[in-house]
Amino acid sequence: MAAPETVTEICPVTTVSFVERTALELMDRIEELAGTLGADLTSDLVKSAHADFDKASDDLKAAIVEKPDLSTMFVVGYVGDNLYVGNSRTFTQLNYYKSLGLNIVPQDIPLDSNWETLSWEQVNKYPVDLVFQDHRGEPDNAPGQLMSIATWASHPAVKAGQVGNWDTDFVASRRAFVAYLEYMTQTINGARDDIV
C-alpha cells in the first residue's frame, strides 16, 4: 500500500468530515465538492433530486405528525453479543429524523459515543412502539435469529411485530436518501403508536 504522500503526488485527495454535521450540511458539502469537480449543479437532475428530497422529507414529517405518541429506537444486535442502541445525536440520519419530529429513545447517550451498549438481559430498558434494527450483517442479526433471545422476543415492539430495517451508514446524497425517507414514512404510517 502506498504511503499517503505518494498517493497525493499521483492524485489529489480531499476529505469531508461527517463528524458533528447535520444531514443537510453534509449533503450540501458533497454537492459543493461535486460542483468544484465539474458537476452542473443547475441541471434538471440536481433540481429533481432536491425536489424529491424535499417532498420525501415533507411526507415523513406529516407521517410523524399523525403519530405524535409514537416512540422509536434504533438498534444493532447480534446473537451472542450485545444490543447496541443508536445515539440520535451522533448518527446523522437519526438526527435528521429527530429534526422532523420523530421521538427517538433514548435522548441522553453522551455525544462522545455512537451507542449505548446493553446486555440482552437489559433489552427492555427502553420499551418503545417501534424498533428499527440494523439489517446489515445478516444472518447473525436476522430477525429470526434474534427471536431466539427471550428478552428480545419479549420487547413490546418486537412482540407487536413492529420492527423495521435500519442501515447505519449515512448516504450523503439527496437522491439516494429519498429511498430511506420513503421507507421511514411507509413504516411509520403502518405502525401503531399505542404499544407502550
Q: Which residue has the higher pLDDT, 8 or 21?
A: 21
> Which neighbouring-strand residues pair with 131?
73, 163
| CA distances for 133 relative to 80, 83, 85, angstroms | 16, 10, 9
For residue range 151-192, what is the model confidence (pLDDT) as tens digits?
999 999 999 999 999 988 888 899 999 999 999 999 999 999
Query: Based on C-alpha coordinates, what's the Rg of the chain?
Result: 19
In the chain, the percentage of residues whose pLDDT exceeds 90 is 66
Which among 156, 138, 154 is positioned nearest to 76, based on CA atoms? Answer: 138
Mean pLDDT of 117-135: 94
> What pLDDT shows up at residue 133?
93
For residue range 16-33, what is the model confidence (pLDDT) as tens digits?
777 677 899 999 999 999
Mean pLDDT of 109-117: 89
pLDDT of residue 4 exceeding 80: no
Element of type H or E holding 140: none
> What pLDDT shows up at residue 148?
87
Contacts of 143 (CB under 8 A, 6+ apart): 133, 163
Which among 22, 21, 61, 31 is positioned nearest to 176, based on CA atoms? Answer: 31
Q: At what angle do helices 92-99 and 174-189 cross, to 10 degrees?
A: 60
76 and 107 Cβ atoms separated by less than 8 Å: no
